[in-house]
Amino acid sequence: MDRKRTSILISGRGSNMAALIAAAAEPVFPAEIALVISNDPEANGLKMAVQNGIPTRVIAQKDYSSREEHDAAIDAALREHGSELVCLAGYMRRLTAGFVEKWSGRMLNIHPALLPAFKGLDTHAAALAAGVRIHGCTVHFVTAEVDAGPIIAQAAVPVLAEDDDARLAARVLKAEHRLYPLALSLVASSRAVLRDGKVVHPGRNPG
C-alpha cells in the first residue's frame, strides 16, 4: 500500500497530533507521519514526536525577517522530508496565502466547532452563549481565509444543560481525536479530494 507521507504542524501540546500518530501506527492506515514541525521550541508535542521516533524541526518566526521567509523555510522542510500531505494540529500561526496555495488540496486543519458556525477562537464559549444544542468539530482543507476551507468531515456532540467551557471543550476534544484520523484517512486514500473548490468523494455511490 502506498502510504502518504504526512507532516504535522504544531504549536503546543499536540493532542490531535498524538491521535494522528496513533492512527498511523497501524500498518493498514493510508498515511505515515514523516515529520513534526513546531514554531515554538518549547511545544510539548515535540517530545511526544521524538518518543515515537518521528523527526522534528523547530522553525520559529523570530528567526526570519518576514512571514514569507518563515513559510518558505517550512515549505523547504516539508519537501526535504518528502511530505505529500500536511496536517495543522493546534498550529497557532496564520500561514501566508502563497504557502497555502502551494499546498492547496493537501493541507488539512481541525477546528473545534461545526463550521461555518463559530469561526475563530473561543468557540465553546460562543456556542454556549448562542444556546445551541449541538456543537462539534470540523476537519477542512486550508484556504487563505481562516476557517473557511472546504469541509472534509464533521463530528457532532450534544451540549448539555450543565456544560461550561471546560466540560464542553473536553467532549469536543474527544470527538476531534476520532475525527482527525478519519479525515486524514479519507484524503490519504483519495476517498476525499478537492475539486473546483469543493470536496468530492470519488467512487461513492450517490444512491
**Catalytic residue numbers, as ranges:** 111
If you write DSSP's letter for every residue of the chain in order, what string do you get?
--PEEEEEEESS--HHHHHHHHHHTSTTSSEEEEEEEES-TT-HHHHHHHHTT--EEE--GGGSSSHHHHHHHHHHHHHHTT-SEEEESS--SPPPHHHHHHTTTTEEEEESS-TTSS-SS-HHHHHHHHT-SEEEEEEEE--SSTT-SPEEEEEEEEPPTT--HHHHHHHHHHHHHHHHHHHHHHHHTTSSEEETTEEE-TT----
Strand partners, 58: 38
21: left (phi over 0), alpha (psi -120 to 50) or beta: alpha
- Which among 35, 32, 34 is positioned nearest to 4, based on CA atoms? 32
